[in-house]
Amino acid sequence: MIQKTKRNYTILTVVFTFLCIVWVYPIVTILLNSLKDTKSITTRDVFNLPNSKTFAGISNYVESITGMNFLRSFFFSLLISLTSVALILLCCSMAAWYVVRVNSLIAKIFYYLCIFSMVVPFQMVMFTLATTADRIKLNTPYNICVIYLGFGAGLAVFMFTGFVKSIPLEIEEAAMIDGCSPIQTYFKVLVPILKPTIISTAILETMWVWNDYLLPTLVLDIKKYRTIPMAIQYFRGSYGTVNMGAMMASIMIDIIPIIIMYLVCQKYIIEGVIAGAVKG
């Protein structure tokens, strides 16, 4: 009987190896195509491997970086993600602490509104949000993080309050009796305890902001500022002939940092997903 299960497991391993090849195949196809010269990337020849005639080396990548100004988009994406996530983590963990410990009527209303905001689809507010952002000049990559804080507060406040509730009050009381001000208590006592939740929330919010397309498209001036998803959509959506080689290279430039980051902090990403799902 043991031998039988062992054989079954070998079959399973083979099946899964095959399935995994299918799973990475789309990305490999894009990678191979990004190495071909532009004329050879047609719908008919997508599955042809690059050969000596069609191999273009890294020229598509050069074209993508210089011709499309892709580094600039990369910079904007990075800037927006970093500032937004940092702001969300700091402000929302503070707000969550306030909500749990003060527990006044206003705090409760704020908390339930946050939960409510998680259900609302973005299309509901897109027009009015873009107009509001325009009016109060929150429409550059340098301050769009305020908008992200507002729209992303729901999930972050929800995750943090869930965790703060499980922290015994005595720890904070002891710190305050010893003479800590609330701000010191927050940074020296609360932040270290919250660290796992901070990491999970940071990952969920980064995945959202880095890949977000519609919000920056509506809020930012597309002629001046383009994040990576905006650049790719703008590039592909514009009329006329599309430089397919540069397009494939741009996709790869977008994916590669994500995959590297994923392989490095895989453990935290998967824990973050589980934490987010169990609470959400």
Partner 1 sequence: MVGKTIKKYWPIFLLPTAAAFCIGFLWPFVWGIYLSFCQFTTVSKVTFVGFSNYAKIMLDNTFSHAFWLTVLFAILSSVIINVMAFLIALALTKKIKGTNVFRTIFFMPNLIGGIVLGYIWQTLLNGILMSLGQPLLALSATNGFWGMIILLSWQQIGYMMIIYIAGLNNVPGDLIEAAQVDGANSWQTLFRIKIPMIMPSVTICTFLTLTNGFKMFDQNLSLTGGDPQKASQLLALNIYDTFYARSGPQWKGIGQAKAVVFFLIVVVIALAQLRLTTSKEVQQ
Q: State in angstroms the smallest separation of the CB of 66 from partner 1.
A: 20
Examine residue 142 and tell whether it contacts partner 1 (CB under 8 A): no
Examine residue 124 and tell whether it contacts partner 1 (CB under 8 A): yes
Q: State in angstroms the smallest separation of the CB of 62 from partner 1.
A: 20
Chain residues 216-255 in contact with partner 1, contact rule CB under 8 A: 228-229, 232-233, 236-237, 247-248, 251, 254-255
Candidate segments 50-58, 67-75, 109-117, 192-200, binder of partner 1 by CB under 8 A: 109-117
Report how far residue 111's alpha carbon sits from residue 98's, in angstroms, rounded to the nearest whole number.
Answer: 10
Chain residues 154-173 in contact with partner 1, contact rule CB under 8 A: 154, 157, 169, 172-173
Listed residue (236, 234, 240, 238) closest to 220, CA to CA: 234
Q: Binding mask 22-61 vs partner 1 (x if CB under 8 A, - otherwise)?
A: -xx-xx-xx--x---------xx-xx--------------
Examine residue 194 and tell whether it contacts partner 1 (CB under 8 A): no
Q: Are 237 and 187 in contact (CB under 8 A)?
A: no
Q: Are 154 and 117 in contact (CB under 8 A)?
A: yes
Report how far residue 71's alpha carbon sits from residue 140's, in angstroms, rounded to the nearest whole number.
Answer: 17
DSSP string, 223-267: TT---HHHHHHHHHHSSS---HHHHHHHHHHHHHHHHHHHHHSHH
Examine residue 179 and tell whether it contacts partner 1 (CB under 8 A): no
Q: State in angstroms the smallest separation of the CB of 194 from partner 1.
A: 14
Report how far residue 107's alpha carbon sits from residue 265's, in angstroms, rounded to the nearest whole number.
Answer: 35
